[in-house]
Amino acid sequence: MPEAIRKVNVVGHQHPDTDSICAAISYAYLKNQLGGSVYEARRAGAINRETAYVLKHFGFEEPRLITTLTPQIKDVTYRKTAGIDPETSLSTAWNLMRNENTSTLCVTDDNDTLLGLIAVKDVANANMDILDNTVISEAHTRYKNIVSTLGGEMLVGDANGVVPEGHVIVGTSPEMMEDSIQEGDVVLCTNRYETQRFAVEAGAGCLIVCHSAKVSGVVRSAAEERGCAIITTPYDTYASARLITMSIPVRAKMLPAEKAERFSVNTSIDDAQKVMARTQHRFFPVIDEDGSYAGVVSTPDLLNPRKKHVILVDHNERSQSVDGREQAEILEIIDHHRVANIETSSPVFFRNVPVGCTCTIIYDIFQENGIEIPANVAGLMMSAILSDTLCFRSPTCTPRDIFVGKKLSEICGEDCDEFADKMFDAGADLTGRTADEVFNSDFKVFSRGNVRFGVGQGSFMTESSRRAAEDLVGPYMADAAKANELPLVFYLFTDVKSQTSDMLYWGSGAEEIAARAFDVEPEDGIAVLKGVVSRKKQVIPALMSTLQRMQEEQE
C-alpha cells in the first residue's frame, strides 16, 4: 500500500525570487482547486523587496518558511499522552504509568506548558526513602491527595488544604506519644479513643485513623476547635505508613523542564536520534510549534518516519533545493530551467518548458484543467513573468510569455509597463538593507564537473540605483563565498533599460573565467557585459562551457 499523502509542500528554490514565490502560491492554489490533497505554498528562504511588494500589492501573506525536507518529529507517530497536573500524587502517576505502559509522564500547567518529567525511578526513589518523615509537609501535600492515596474519607478539615508543617509519626499510646508529638504532625493511629484525643490535644495537624475505626464526636469537636484534620482509611497502620509517602505531588520529585531533554515537532529525526543515544531516558517530551506540550516520543517511534511530500517549482537542481530533498517524496516538478542532477525514487509529473517564467507554464495548466484564475492570483503570475523576463526585454522571453503576461494583466487590471517600473523600483530600494540581504535576494548555486559556483543577479531601472548596489555588495563578495562554501562567486547588476550588466566576481581564476566566457577585458574587478541580461540563457551556459574547457585543458 502506498503511503497516504497528508499535505504537499509546494516550494521553489533557495534565495527565492519573485517567480519562485509566485509560482508556489499560484500552483498550490490550482492544485487545491483540483482536490485530492492539501497543498501549501512554502518558501525556502527570505523573500526580497521586489517579491514583498508584489505580495502586498495583491493581498497575500508570504508563505511559511521551510528549511528542510528531512523527516522531523512531526513525521513520526509519537504518543499523544496527556500531561498531568503538578499536584497529581505519585500514587496516581504510578497507576497512570502502569495503565498506559509508559515509564515517563510529562507534567504541564493549564496552558499545556511543560513543567517537568516524572519517571518510574522518581516514584521508586520516593517510596524507598522511608526515613524522610517530613516529606509530606515539605511538599505541601494537599489533604485530598492523602485521602485518594489511602482510599479514605475526610471527616474534619478542607480537602483542598495542604499540610504546612510537621512530621509523620505512628501514634501508639498517650504515654509513648507524650514527648514525640510536635505542632502540626501527621499522626497515624487506630481505634483507641485516648490515643486519638491525646494526639489532637497535643497539637497534631492531621489525624489519620486506620482500619476505618470510629471517631467519637468528642474527638471531632476537639479537632475542629484546634484546626486538626481527620482522615479515616481502611488500611492498617503499616500499610498507611508506607502509602502516605505516595500522596506527595509529582512537582516535588519531577525533573524540572529546564533540565529535561525535549524535542520540537520540527527537530530532525537525525538530531533526535543523536540526543537519545547519549541519554538513558526512554521517553522524551515533544513541543509543538506554539511551544505547548504535544506528547512523548521514544527511540522505536523514529524507525519508520513518513516522508514529506513536495512539488518543486522554478528549479530542479539539487544545489538549489531545500536541504534533505533526497529523503522526501517528490511528486511533481514544474520548471523552465535546464534539467540538471535530478533523481527521484519513483516516476513523477515533470513539466519543463523552454519559456521565460515558471508562471507561464502554470497558466497553461490552469487552462488545460478549466480552472478560472482569480484576479489576485493572476497578479502574482503576471508579476513573476515581468520579473523573469525583465518586462519582456530578456532574451529568455518567448512569444508565449508575452501572450500570457498580457492575458494575466487583463485579469488583474494592471498595466504591464507601469507595474513593472514600480516593482523593479521596489526591488532596487536599498534603504536599510545590508549587503547580505541584497546579495541573497536572487542568488543560485550551480556546478560543472567538480566545480561549484554561485551566480546572483539584481535588476535596476536607473544607473544610480545599480551603482549603489554595486558599492554595497562588492566588498561582501568574499564573505558571501565563504558563507555558501563556494570557490567562485559571480554577481550581475543588470540595467534593465540599457540592457547591460556589470558582473562582479570573486575567487581564484574568476577574472580569467569571466574574460574567456564573455570575451571581455575586466577592469577594476568588473566585467561589463553589453546586451547580457539573462542569467539562465546568457550567463550560465557561457560559464559552464568555459569551466569545462578549462578543466579539459588542465587534464
| pLDDT tens profile 441-480 | 889 999 887 889 999 998 888 888 889 999 999 999 999 9
Kindly report the pTM of this predicted structure. 0.67
Domain boundary among 426, 447, 477: 426
Relative to beta strand 229-232, strand 255-256 is: unpaired
* pLDDT tens for each residue of 47-87: 999 999 999 999 999 999 998 899 999 889 888 889 999 99
Domain boundary among 398, 426, 454: 426
* pLDDT tens for each residue of 331-373: 999 999 988 877 787 888 999 999 999 999 999 999 999 999 9
Contact 79, 296 (CB under 8 A): yes
pLDDT at position 236 is: 94
Q: Are residues 458 and 518 in the same domain?
A: yes
Q: Is 93 exposed, middle or buried (0-12, 13-18, 19+ CB in 10 A)?
A: buried
**DSSP characters over 24-79:** HHHHHHHHHHH-SSEEEEEESS---HHHHHHHHHTT-PPPEE--B-S-BGGGS--B
Q: Are residues 319 and 409 in the same domain?
A: yes
Contact 120, 103 (CB under 8 A): yes
- Domain membership of residue 541 (yes or no) is yes
Q: Are residues 395 and 490 in the same domain?
A: no
Percent of the chain with pLDDT over 90: 68
pLDDT at position 56 is: 97
Number of domains in the chain: 4
pLDDT at position 475 is: 94
Q: What is the CATH number of the domain that holds 260?
A: 3.10.580.10
| Rounded-to-integer distance, Cα 390 and Cα 377, Å | 20
Domain boundary among 223, 247, 271: 247
Under DSSP, is residue 105 helix (H, G, I), strand (E, B) or coil?
A: strand
Q: Is the dihedral of CA 199, 201, 204, 208 positive or negative?
A: positive
H helix or E strand, kind and range, residue 177: helix 174-177
- Domain membership of residue 258 (yes or no) is yes
- Calculate mean pLDDT across residues 366-392: 97
Contact 188, 168 (CB under 8 A): yes
Q: Are residues 54 and 78 in the same domain?
A: no
Q: What is the CATH number of the domain that holds 177?
A: 3.40.1390.20
- Domain membership of residue 326 (yes or no) is yes
Q: Are residues 122 and 44 in the same domain?
A: no
pLDDT at position 265 is: 92
- Domain membership of residue 11 (yes or no) is yes
Alpha-carbon separation of residue 217 from 172, 174, 185, 226, 513 (angstroms): 21, 19, 21, 14, 103
Q: Which three cell numbers stand for residue 538?
A: 546568457
Q: Are residues 66 and 86 in the same domain?
A: no
Q: Are residues 120 and 217 in the same domain?
A: no
Range of the domain at 64: 7-71+307-426
- Domain membership of residue 160 (yes or no) is yes
Q: Are residues 447 and 526 in the same domain?
A: yes
Check whether 100 has a pLDDT greater than 90: no
3-class secondary structure for 312-376?
EECCCCHHHCCECHHHCEEEEEEECCCCCCCCCCCCCEEEECCCCCHHHHHHHHHHHCCCCCCHH
* pLDDT tens for each residue of 133-178: 889 999 999 999 999 999 999 999 999 999 988 899 988 888 778 7
Cross-sheet strand order for the sheet of 229-232? 153-156, 229-232, 206-209, 186-189, 168-170
- Domain membership of residue 19 (yes or no) is yes
Q: Are residues 468 and 544 in the same domain?
A: yes
Percent of the chain with pLDDT over 70: 99
Name the nearest CA neighbour of 470 among 516, 522, 420, 525. Answer: 525
pLDDT at position 139 is: 93
Q: Are residues 441 and 549 in the same domain?
A: yes
| Rounded-to-integer distance, Cα 185 and Cα 134, Å | 9
- Calculate mean pLDDT across residues 499-520: 94
Confidence label for 2 from pLDDT (cuts 50, 70 and 90): very low
Q: Are residues 520 and 548 in the same domain?
A: yes
Check whether 425 has a pLDDT greater than 60: yes
- Domain membership of residue 131 (yes or no) is no
Q: Are residues 445 and 537 in the same domain?
A: yes
- Domain membership of residue 135 (yes or no) is no
